[in-house]
């Protein structure tokens, strides 16, 4: 089976992952409308291709918060990578470094931050944080990340409670006994989403700011109003995201929300987007609409499921080639 495009990796993962793991990664909230809209919305956007421009040399490198990456595609934070590949987040970190791009490690990793750092020293990494009811646990985690050289702090804003993912409920989804949310082992005996704090507000950005010198990126913004609030509360970056359609169903597709967020932000902070990226041309569309960089979630998992870090590199390389070709063909 030739791996030609990202859907080939999706098909592979669907075929070879245990059903419960596939369902977990594939899940969207409720009717999965927003999950699917993320993809459909890209298809509705049309290029106006220009001809006869010299496209013999193209530079696709970019910088995010000052760090150069080889092309504008990073790895979005997703949990439980060991469900996809034995080495879990360590493989993810290695692949990201090999491709010279940014990997946002999730609080809900199945490797510790220390393991992730050790697996790929020198790689560009950000750390994704949920704020727990036990604030001390969150603070400790964040400071470990900073000490380990993570270069950005990504606060996920759209998960005061977990969205309703029907298949996970039907499957009684839980991690297999030999996997753990290792980052939180010390803080909690049992790790459940219900430990997250639903009372978090914009003021907690100030609290985070007081704890770290890392740039703060807020993830989960979908409206101009919240984009304005984010800028005013001093974040350095915004990831337009609907959590892959896993939280509130029937909100906007991220590429549609990107437009209004970019407009509201007016260049004051960097704006990124995740959700629905399946082709290099999607990356080009997101950039044309004002994103500085995109992040991929499920496609990264499919790459891991295919061949660990090598598979994830394949996914990134395909996106890179497609992105470069799209740029050339669009002029």
What is the helix (H) or strand (E) element at residue 34, kind and residue range? Answer: helix 33-44
Give the one residue of 36, 140, 158, 310 binding a copy of itself; rule: CB under 8 A.
158
**Using CB under 8 A, which of 18, 66, 160, 176 touches a copy of itself?**
160
Cβ 180 to a copy of itself shortest distance, Å: 26
Kindly state whether residue 2 participates in binding a copy of itself, applying the rule CB under 8 A: yes
- Residues in CB range of 263: below 8 A, 6 or more apart: 224, 290
**Of the two residues 111 and 296, which places its CB atom closer to a copy of itself in the complex?**
296
Question: Applying CB under 8 A, which part among 12-20, 191-199, 206-214, 265-273 lies near a copy of itself?
Answer: 191-199
Tokens of 135: 């604030």
Q: Is 174 in the site for a copy of itself (CB under 8 A)?
A: no
163 near a copy of itself, judged by CB under 8 A: yes
Task: Indicate whether 31 belongs to the interface with a copy of itself (CB under 8 A).
Answer: yes
Check residue 221 for interaction with a copy of itself (CB under 8 A).
yes
| Tokens standing for residue 182 | 């290792």
Which among 81, 178, 233, 243 is annotated as catalytic? 243
The answer to whether 160 and 198 are in contact (CB under 8 A) is yes
Task: Write down the H helix ranges in 59-173.
Answer: 89-98, 113-119, 135-147, 166-171
- Give the binding range for a copy of itself (CB under 8 A) out of 117-125, 146-154, 196-204, 306-314: 196-204
Q: Which residue number, 109 or 247, has a Cβ lying nearer to a copy of itself?
A: 247
- Smaller CB distance to a copy of itself: residue 143 or 194? 194
Could you say whether residue 210 binds a copy of itself (CB under 8 A)? Answer: no
Nearest to 45 by CA among 283, 230, 240, 271: 283
Q: What is the DSSP letter of 195?
A: G
Those residues whose C-beta lies under 8 Å from the C-beta of residue 244, and which sit 6 or more positions away, are 28, 35, 38, 78, 274, 275, 297, 298
Minimal distance in Å, beta carbon 88 to a copy of itself? 28
Which residue's entry shows tokens 């004051």? 268
**φ and ψ at residue 198, rounded to 5 degrees:** -80, 0
165 is in an annotated binding site: yes
Nearest one of 272, 287, 242, 253 to 41, comparing CA atoms: 253
Helix and strand numbers (H, E) in the chain are 12, 10
Both tokens of 244, joined, read: 């892959």
- The answer to whether the annotation marks 7 as part of a ligand binding site is no
272 labeled binding residue: no
**234: its two tokens:** 């001093």
How many Å apart are CA 130 and CA 14, to the nearest integer? Answer: 29
Select the residue interacting with a copy of itself from 14, 135, 144, 166 (CB under 8 A).
Answer: 166
**Is 132 labeled as catalytic in the residue annotation?**
no
Residue 234 interacts with a copy of itself (CB under 8 A): yes or no: no
Tell whether residue 213 is a contact of a copy of itself (CB under 8 A).
no
Site residues (vs a copy of itself, CB under 8 A): 2, 4-5, 30-31, 33, 43, 45-56, 157-158, 160-161, 163-164, 166, 169-170, 197-202, 204-205, 218, 220-223, 225-226, 229, 242, 247-252, 279, 281, 322, 325-326, 328-330
Tell me which residues are annotated as active site. 243
Annotated binding site: 24, 77-79, 106, 128, 130, 156, 165, 219, 241, 243, 246, 274-278, 297-298
């Amino acid at each position: 089976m030739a791996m030609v495009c990202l859907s080939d990796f999706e098909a592979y993962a669907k075929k070879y992952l245990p059903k419960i793991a596939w369902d977990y990664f594939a899940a969207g909230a409720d009717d999965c409308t927003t999950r699917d809209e993320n993809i459909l919305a890209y298809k509705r956007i049309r290029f106006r291709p220009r001809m006869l421009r010299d496209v013999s040399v193209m530079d696709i490198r970019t910088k995010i918060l000052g760090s150069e990456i080889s092309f504008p595609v990073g790895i979005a934070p997703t949990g439980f990578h060991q469900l996809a590949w034995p080495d879990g987040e360590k493989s993810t970190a290695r692949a990201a470094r090999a491709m010279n791009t940014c990997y946002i490690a999730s609080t809900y990793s199945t490797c510790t931050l220390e393991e992730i750092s050790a697996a790929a020293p020198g790689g560009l990494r950000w750390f994704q944080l949920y704020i727990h009811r036990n604030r001390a646990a969150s603070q400790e985690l964040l400071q470990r990340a900073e000490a380990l050289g993570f270069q950005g702090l990504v606060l996920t804003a759209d998960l005061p409670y977990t969205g309703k993912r029907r298949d996970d409920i039907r499957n009684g989804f839980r991690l297999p006994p030999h996997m753990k949310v290792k980052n939180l082992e010390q803080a909690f005996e049992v790790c459940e989403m219900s430990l997250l704090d639903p009372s978090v507000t914009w003021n907690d950005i100030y609290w985070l700011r007081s704890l770290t010198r890392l740039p703060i990126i807020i993830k989960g913004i979908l409206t101009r109003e919240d984009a304005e609030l984010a800028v005013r509360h001093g974040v350095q970056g915004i990831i337009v995201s609907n959590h892959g359609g896993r939280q509130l169903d029937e909100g906007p597709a991220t590429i549609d929300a990107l437009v209004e967020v970019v407009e509201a932000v007016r260049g004051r902070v960097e704006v990124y987007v995740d959700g629905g990226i399946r082709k290099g041309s999607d990356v080009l569309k997101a950039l044309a609409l004002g994103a500085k960089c995109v992040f991929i979630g499920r496609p990264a998992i499919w790459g891991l499921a295919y061949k660990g870090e090598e598979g994830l590199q394949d996914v990134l390389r395909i996106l890179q080639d497609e992105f470069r070709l799209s740029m050339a063909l669009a002029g």
